[in-house]
Amino acid sequence: MNPSALNSALAERYSVEREIGRGGMATVFLAHDLRIDRQVALKILHPELAGAIGVDRFAREVRTMAKLTHPNIVPVIESGVLTTSDGRLPWYTMPYIAGESLRARLEREPQLPIEFALRVTEQLASALGAAHRLGIVHRDIKPENVILTDSAVYVVDFGISKALIDTGDERLTSTGLAIGTPAYMSPEQASAGAVDARTDQYSLACVLYEMLCGEPPFTGPTAAAIIARRFAEAPRPVRTVRSTIPVAVERATLRALERVPADRFSSVSEFVTALRSTNAAESARKPLSRLASSVAVLGVLAASFIGVWLLSRPRVARSAAPRDPQIVALYQRGVRGYTRRTPDGVREAIAAFSAVLARDSNYADAWNGLAKTYLRAQRRQFTLPGITNDEMLRRALTASDRATAIDSASSDAWLTRALVSVTIDPTQVRGAIQGTERAIALDSGNAEAWHQLANSRLQLGEADQALATWRESVRRKPTYTEGLAFMALAHYWHRQFDSASHWADSAVTVDDSYLLGRTTAGYIAVERGEYAKATAELDAALRVVSDVEVANVLAARALVEARQGARVRAKATLHQADSIGLHYTPANAHTAVYLAQGYAAAAQPDSAIRWLERYSPVEDLHFQTHLRCDPPFDPIRRDRRFQALLRRPPRLQGTGC
């Protein structure tokens, strides 16, 4: 409909000047209100949308939104229905704001200053809070519905989505219009669930995320792809994109982006208060050591847990009825995610196991899988939105206890209890050995139990026995990728690089996206002088990593570059890895080890030692294994500072551990 036709239809009220915008719902015109002499924005719904709703009721619903007044809300002034050649078209007017949309600003400047983004979020939250107190949910918070001026921030189109839903019928879906915008739509809204104020909170967090990171938390080529990612993945932490973002801002944003509404803040006001909180920043600046923190939080619980584990008699497992194939498929998806050993894999595994347990809370294997996954996330310091490192350990402990309570004859459940034990106190493994031996007694074909027993033996300094035990692991299950990778590592630690290469290649052959297989193959190729192969393996690894693992693989790349004599390039790569690794406090054991090895190869021993000294507790037996056994430490092995970190010296210089 052109301005001249509108002027004929609205001659007594408005003088329509020109079209100023066109969106998914309506065409927007700049008009002059003849009665009160001011400019307004006149919005007219598209004919195909108007045909799918009750237009008269829509106009009435929109008029009720005129009661909503707030300094940051652009109110509806008037609404009505036009009779045109296209049918009856609802329209409404709002004051014209001479500014620009947040979308226009983001198109010019994808990442906005942090303080500016927070001020915008606070004003939006103030507007939303006022609406929520009246029981009104916007349902379509996005940059296009935010107007910026020199003095204020405004929200537009309040209540329009609700009016569409309340007056539409099944024909509404045929228009192709989603009520809400996929990139900013909450999971419950995307799945046609009940919405409330927390739905707007989620969308507001998406807008803040985009202002900080340059894109929404989930993107994709289609609306369906975006929504699928929202259910399958966790958003990437904002500090991995911009390290200058305060810890409190990251934590509050990720909590507001939780899939489950109950896990978000109770209100948008609480959300914006958390954005300015100093508690998260203080805790990040003054971390407890991993050991001290775990003992302080879990000491009493852990003691009773281990005591019950060692002294209790196994109960007979409950008989299992045939399971729903969909639940089994979800469980297998969780296993695949866990096996990948990547942050994304861990998050996928937690989502899958949790979905299984929501349908069947007596699925012991799913509880056990959830426990192992939380342990992996905690030990490798993967980021799980809204969950601290200690909370991961508590959840692992709880899930492990549920698994053995349901099926005390499960070999896997007892193996997981052993892993919990060594995670609570990484300075001793006797309890873990007892647990793995019990798991093997229950099922001698449990390849992972043999693998963990080998790991414990190596940490006790029993390298030859460990190699034999890993051999037993892959004999029991020749396609067990972790066992194959550790067979490679065992030969690598023995300086038997040709045999190590064979086993690493076997792991990659079984699963070419397996991170540990790729990185192990890369490290072994370095020691064989096969730098092209090492680079290829690490490049492949980089394509499947995220979070802290990016720093670890980059450190390995720097090792290759330094060994090739390209020290300038190695130092640049180390700087990149270093900047990522420093985001994780306390330091991750593998990050400290791999960065130290890169710096050692680049002839920067002070930086190497500094990274090793960042890790605590230094008595962690797995950390000690790397110090004793890893060949890349040879350049600094005689450094007195390095030797001071060792709790037991290597067997012989240059012969492995």
pLDDT digits (tens, 9 = 90+) for 638-651: 999 999 999 876 65
**Could you tell me which residues are beta bridge partners of residue 33?**
14, 38
CA separation, residue 174 to residues 171, 177, 221, 258, 625 (Å): 5, 8, 21, 30, 62
pLDDT digits (tens, 9 = 90+) for 563-602: 999 999 999 999 999 999 888 878 889 999 999 999 999 9
Q: Please identify every residue annotated as catalytic.
A: 140
CA separation, residue 6 to residues 16, 44, 612, 632 (Å): 7, 10, 73, 77
Mean pLDDT score of the chain: 84
Q: State the helix-helix crossing angle for 621-629 and 589-601, rounded to 10 degrees.
A: 20
Greatest pairwise CA separation for the chain in angstroms? 97
Give the pLDDT of residue 78.
83
Measured between alpha carbons, how far is 55 from 37 in angstroms, rounded to an integer? 28
Q: Is residue 98 pLDDT above 90, yes or no?
A: no
Q: Is residue 307 pLDDT above 50, yes or no?
A: no
User: 10 Å Cβ neighbour count for 621?
Assistant: 22
Burial 444-459 (b: 16+ CB within 10 A, else e): eebbbbbbbbbbbbbb
pLDDT digits (tens, 9 = 90+) for 33-49: 888 888 999 988 877 76
In the chain, the N- to C-terminal Cα span, in Å, equals: 81
**Mean pLDDT in residue range 157-166:** 61
C-alpha R_g of the chain: 30
**Mean pLDDT in residue range 471-492:** 93
The pTM score is: 0.50
Are 249 and 118 in contact by the 8 Å Cβ rule? The answer is yes
- For the chain, percent helix, then strand, then coil, each to nearest 5? 60, 10, 30
Strand order in the sheet with 38-45: 14-22, 26-33, 38-45, 87-95, 78-84
Are 345 and 338 in contact by the 8 Å Cβ rule? The answer is yes
Two structure tokens written together for 518: 């790729």
Compute, in degrees rounded to 10, the torsion defined by CA atoms 249, 250, 251, 252.
Answer: 50
Give 456's contacts (C-beta < 8 A, 6+ positions apart).
422, 429, 432, 433, 436
Q: Is residue 107 pLDDT above 90, yes or no?
A: yes
CA separation, residue 294 to residues 72, 398, 431, 439, 616 (Å): 46, 15, 17, 25, 12
